[in-house]
Amino acid sequence: MENLNIYNPVKIHFGGGLIGEAGKIAKKYSDTALIVTGKNSMQKSGTLGKLVKILKDAGVAPIIFDGITPNPTINEIDSAAGIAKEKKAGLIIGLGGGSPLDSAKAVAVAAKGNIPVWSYLKTPAEEALPVITIVSTSGTGSEVNRYSVMTNPETGEKPGFGYECMYPKEAIIDPEIMLSMPPYVTAATGFDVFVHAFEAFTGKAKNAFSSAYCMQVFYLLKDNLVKAYDEPDNIEARGNMALASALAGLAIDISGVGIIHAMEHPVSGNYPNVAHGAGLAALTIESMKYNLESCKRDFMLIAHHFGIKRAGKSEDEYAAALIEKIQGILAALNLNIGLKDLGVEKSKLAKIAGEAFTTMGFAVQNNPAEAGEKEVLKLLEASY
């Protein structure tokens, strides 16, 4: 029997219109909040304006930092942390997709110290400002976990980090905010949810707690991933994808990710225009084939949760049917792509393979099948 330590302190508020509670929730932590958000989407949908009003009505003074780009850089995070310090913000509110939420957590750490945020990869953070997440994609799961992913634009490195003090205090998951996601964002972020559950469910660090979350995620994805893409106004499908995102976020908080994420981070780190979920889409099928023999029973269980009938199939056929199913989902999401389609240069594959180990080594370790740099390079070439 293995020993387990399971801990997640995030208070989760899920429901349509719940952004209305943000003022009351924020007020518990501070009278001054720095909103960390992106450059366009939350302004355009009116969500940022709404949040500002809700905070003011509750007596919380909002300061806006709206300079976070997708695949956020350390420069953006350090700038926001400087503003948080200067304005003496007592609370950080992340508003947006994984990029602003990850940034909010990193800002919360950097605003407490006197070193650049990159230094926290080596220097563990003991304290951070309180963080509230208001999520607009589904997604990364960042709304409910402690992880933050940041890019060093000079080197292309894109590591993740996460200390206990970085858990958001509270997460507001309001599916109405997600209705404005354009199809490509819905597809890419939705596919990210699958890869989280897949890697947490098959990884070496899997356990009963994360697996319980993952199984519910597979059920939710089965009926809602393609539906949310095909029917963008379907609030039921949006809500179920939001639940799946959070559950998968809890699963990776417990059991981590694997080789698909290890390879994707250097892809979008070196090519910041690549959406994380699209990078994953390009890498998933070859990685699933690579892992199949190491965790065939898990593949069969996932196939079952996706509603694939066993009906006379051998174990090998049933496990392989999952890969076909995922290929079909990728096609339905218009994400049947290779790294080449994303603008990745072949000459960069060796650098990407190296960074999978130097920046995401723990994820390679967690992968069910052993892989060295040679194998990872082969996978990248096959995914090209």
Q: In the complex, what is the shortest distance from the CB of residue 229 to ligand NZQ, in angstroms, rounded to a whole number? A: 14
Strands (E) across 113-258 are located at 131-135, 148-149, 160-161, 170-173
Question: Which one of Mn ion, ligand NZQ, none is in contact with 153 (Cβ closer than 5 to 8 A by kind)?
Answer: none
Give whichever of 23 and 160 is closer to Mn ion, judged by the CB atom.
160
**Which residues ranging from 235 to 274 are in contact with Mn ion (CB under 5 A)?**
none
Give whichever of 248 and 303 is closer to ligand NZQ, judged by the CB atom.
248
| Structural contact between residues 20 and 53, judged by C-beta atoms closer than 8 angstroms | no
- Contact flag: residue 102 with Mn ion (CB under 5 A): no
Nearest to 132, CA basis, from 41, 36, 68, 53: 36
Q: In the complex, what is the shortest distance from the CB of residue 364 to ligand NZQ, in angstroms, rounded to a whole number? A: 15
For Mn ion, which stretch binds (CB under 5 A), given 192-200, 288-296, 329-337, 363-371? Answer: 192-200
User: What does the alpha-carbon distance between residue 133 and residue 381 come to, in Å, rounded to a whole number?
Assistant: 37
Total residues contacting Mn ion by CB under 5 A comes to 1
User: What does the alpha-carbon distance between residue 259 and residue 221 come to, in Å, rounded to a whole number?
Assistant: 21
Question: Which one of ligand NZQ, Mn ion, none is in contact with 147 (Cβ closer than 5 to 8 A by kind)?
Answer: ligand NZQ
Question: Which one of ligand NZQ, Mn ion, none is in contact with 305 (Cβ closer than 5 to 8 A by kind)?
Answer: none
Q: In the complex, what is the shortest distance from the CB of residue 260 to ligand NZQ, in angstroms, rounded to a whole number? A: 9
Cβ neighbours, 10 Å, residue 164: 12
Would you tell me which residues interact with ligand NZQ (CB under 6 A)? Answer: 38-42, 45, 70-71, 96-99, 102, 136-137, 139-142, 145, 147, 149, 177-178, 180-182, 185, 189, 192, 261, 276-277
Cβ within 8 Å of residue 86, ≥6 positions away: none
Instruction: Say whether 127 sits in a helix, a strand or coil.
Output: coil
Question: Which one of Mn ion, ligand NZQ, none is in contact with 303 (Cβ closer than 5 to 8 A by kind)?
Answer: none
| Structural contact between residues 34 and 80, judged by C-beta atoms closer than 8 angstroms | yes
Q: In the complex, what is the shortest distance from the CB of residue 257 to Mn ion, in angstroms, rounded to a whole number? A: 7
Q: In the complex, what is the shortest distance from the CB of residue 39 to ligand NZQ, in angstroms, rounded to a whole number? A: 5
Question: Which one of Mn ion, ligand NZQ, none is in contact with 269 (Cβ closer than 5 to 8 A by kind)?
Answer: none
Nearest to 115, CA basis, from 89, 124, 167: 124
Q: In the complex, what is the shortest distance from the CB of residue 344 to ligand NZQ, in angstroms, rounded to a whole number? A: 16
Strands (E) across the chain are located at 11-14, 32-38, 61-68, 91-96, 131-135, 148-149, 160-161, 170-173
Give whichever of 192 and 355 is closer to Mn ion, judged by the CB atom.
192
Q: In the complex, what is the shortest distance from the CB of residue 168 to ligand NZQ, in angstroms, rounded to a whole number? A: 10
> Angle, nearest 10°, between helix axes 373-382 and 259-270?
70
Give whichever of 39 and 313 is closer to ligand NZQ, judged by the CB atom.
39
Q: Please give the span between the terminal C-alpha atoms of the chain, in angstroms, as a whole number.
A: 41
Give whichever of 43 and 207 is closer to ligand NZQ, judged by the CB atom.
43
Pairing status of strand 160-161 against strand 148-149: antiparallel
Cβ neighbours, 10 Å, residue 4: 10
Q: In the complex, what is the shortest distance from the CB of residue 146 to Mn ion, in angstroms, rounded to a whole number? A: 14
Q: How many residues does the chain have?
A: 384
How many Å separate Cα 365 from the centre of its chain? 19
Alpha helices in 313-348 (DSSP H): 315-332
Question: Which one of ligand NZQ, Mn ion, none is in contact with 244 (Cβ closer than 5 to 8 A by kind)?
Answer: none
The residue within the footprint of Mn ion, chosen from 174, 192, 199, 355 (CB under 5 A), is 192
Give whichever of 137 and 287 is closer to ligand NZQ, judged by the CB atom.
137
Give the footprint of Mn ion on this chain (CB under 5 A): 192
